[in-house]
Amino acid sequence: MKTFEEINLIAPLQRALADEKYETPTPIQAQSIPAAIEGKDLLGCAQTGTGKTAAFALPLLNTLGKQNRRAIPNKPFALVLAPTRELAIQIGESFATYGRHLRFRHALVYGGVGQGHQVRSLKRGVHLLVATPGRLLDLMNQGHIQLDQLEMFVLDEADRMLDMGFLPDLKRIISKLPPQRQSLFFSATLPPNIIELSQRLLKDPVKVHVTPESRNVEKIEQRMMFVERGGKQALLEKTLGEADVDRVLVFTKTKRGANAVAEQLVRSGISATAIHGNKSQNARQKALEAFRRRQVKVLVATDVAARGIDVDGITHVINFDLPVEPESYVHRIGRTGRAGAEGIALSFCSGAERRELRAIERLIGQKVPVSGDDPGPEFNDRRESSRHRGRRPGSTGGGSRPYRPRSTDSTAGKDGSPKRRRRPRSGSQQRVGQTS
């Protein structure tokens, strides 16, 4: 299969793929989509960054688009389960992008925020639901979600869910699924406990195993800069003022973050614009053309919107936020240094992102060099030891405030974010790594 046009997708999806300039499916997409369209169960083994979100999103949307039914309050037809709210948000953005020409409603359900908006969306009725396990169970127990009308179920990042301690929650959710359904199961690895879970979930599945392509980042100069969240904007503006910084692509985790960064740059006198899934295709194309024609110096983007960005002469890629998925790091920095040119990739890492940094370094097989006098890649270890030195971890030189030692017990929360029990602290003391 060489092009998406050869896949039997309905016209609105083909139109959305053309909008995004998607022409050639990745191996996981080429092997998974035809089987999933036929209604078969699927067991997919693939790393992040191989295109597996589209591998399940397109078949689900294809089925929903063909049926063209009215949504039923509190009873979704399709459910996608993800381990973290960050990944759930990214998946939701993908559904919005691919389904822009369809009449369908979807909702996101995850913890760490109030449930009021989520409950109201469910009550209006959604065709498709993207959820994290903990909040999903909470709302099911409250009667806000019933799965008796569910026809399609996707379990994404299964091995990561088990690593985070979600196996009991997964078993409870699976026990509530209707016996007659289609199930798609994706995992980067297939250890025995994952195999056992897949056997419980799937019926005579099509098996797809994709080995990730080799990643060559040797031509790109990579640097890591350690700074807490509140100092990232100032560091970005300082970096953009350097003489060799010409055309810059900045990545944020969220659409809201992309807007905020671009707006602050404009207020500081730096020409910038944002591109993300909430913008219309016309607005995104206009922003991209302004960047390509050098009418703006900085383009701020999210991962979902970045695939269509193919601009020569990008001197710097700056990771304002480290990506949740390590493969996204490779895709991001690959936007610079194109066509044999040299490129520079800078990453801002806060104390709260040390786990993402370790995952990136494991993937690329090397430590990312640290710029300036910041702490080295062993940030987590130094962060722990800094408690005993009376210094605030992750500070970037000069003026470090005293850091009060405290006991912290961390366990995975229901939405994948850590729960912490801390000793009382003074009102003036700020939380390390706090993000908006």
pLDDT band at residue 257 under the 50/70/90 scheme: very high
Q: What angle do CA 312, 316, 319 make, to 5 degrees?
A: 120
Q: Do 327 and 363 touch, CB atoms closer than 8 A?
A: yes
Task: Report whether pLDDT(153) > 70.
Answer: yes
Q: Is 131 helix (H, G, I), strand (E, B) or coil?
A: strand
Encoded amino acid at 224, one letter: M
Which superfamily does 4-209 belong to? Answer: P-loop containing nucleotide triphosphate hydrolases (3.40.50.300)
Radius of gyration over alpha carbons of the chain, in Å? Answer: 22
pLDDT confidence of residue 218: 66
The CA distance from 84 to 156, in Å, is 10
Q: Where are the domains positioned within the chain? A: 4-209, 220-405
Same fold, 4-209 and 220-405: yes
411: number of Cβ within 10 Å: 10
Please report the pLDDT score of residue 319 as a whole number: 96
Task: Name, in order, each residue with C-beta under 8 angstroms of 207's C-beta and a sequence gap of 6 or more.
Answer: 42, 43, 44, 45
> How many helices (H) and strands (E) in the chain?
16, 15
Alpha carbon 199 to chain centroid distance? 27
Per-position DSSP letters for 31-64, written without gaps between them: HHHHHHHTT--EEEE--TTSSHHHHHHHHHHHHH
SS3 412: strand
pLDDT digits (tens, 9 = 90+) for 304-347: 665 556 677 889 999 999 988 787 788 788 778 654 557 899 99
Collapse the DSSP code of 178 into the 3-class scheme (helix H, G, I; strand E, B; otherwise coil) and give the result: coil
**Do the beta carbons of residue 401 and residue 236 sit within 8 Å?**
no
| Per-residue pLDDT at 235 exceeds 80 | yes
Choices 3.40.50.1100, 1.10.10.10, 3.40.50.300, 3.40.640.10: CATH for 220-405: 3.40.50.300
Mean pLDDT of 415-426: 45
Residue 270 and residue 246 in contact, taking contact as beta carbons nearer than 8 Å: no
- The reported pLDDT for the residue numbered 116 is 95
In this structure, the chain runs to a length of 436
Sheet holding 128-131, edge to edge: 106-109, 128-131, 78-81, 152-155, 182-187, 42-45, 206-209
pLDDT over 70 for what percent of the chain?
A: 79
Question: Alpha-carbon distance 413 to 261, whole Å?
Answer: 29
pLDDT tens digits, residue range 356-413?
998 888 888 889 999 865 554 444 444 433 333 333 333 333 333 333 333 333 344 4
The tokens describing 30, both together, are 């080429």
Q: How far apart are CA 153 and CA 63, in angstroms?
A: 13
Angle at 239 between CA 236 and CA 243, to 5 degrees: 150
Per-residue pLDDT, averaged over 197-206, amounts to 93
